[in-house]
Amino acid sequence: MSHHCNLSFQQLTDNDYRRINKELSNKDTIDVVRWAYHTFADELVYACSFGAEGIVLIDIISKIRPDAHIVFLDTHVHFKETYELVEKVQRAYPLLRIEIVQPVLTLEEQAEQHGSALWKIEPNVCCSIRKLQPLATVLAGKKAWLSGLRREQSPARAHVQFINKDQKFTSIKVCPLIHWKWDDVWNYIKLYQLPYNELHDKGYPSIGCEHCTLPVEDGGSSRAGRWAGFEKTECGLHQ
Residue tagged active-site, from 48, 126, 127, 235: 235
| Burial 31-63, CB ≥16 within 10 A → b, else e | ebbbbbbebbeebbbbbbbbbbbbbbbbbbbbe
Rounded CA-CA distance 104/129 in Å is 8
Rounded CA-CA distance 115/42 in Å is 39
Strand partners, 145: 45, 173
Whether residue 235 lies in the annotated active site: yes
DSSP of 30-52, one letter per residue? HHHHHHHHHHHGGGEEEE---SH
Chain length of the chain: 239
Active site residues: 235
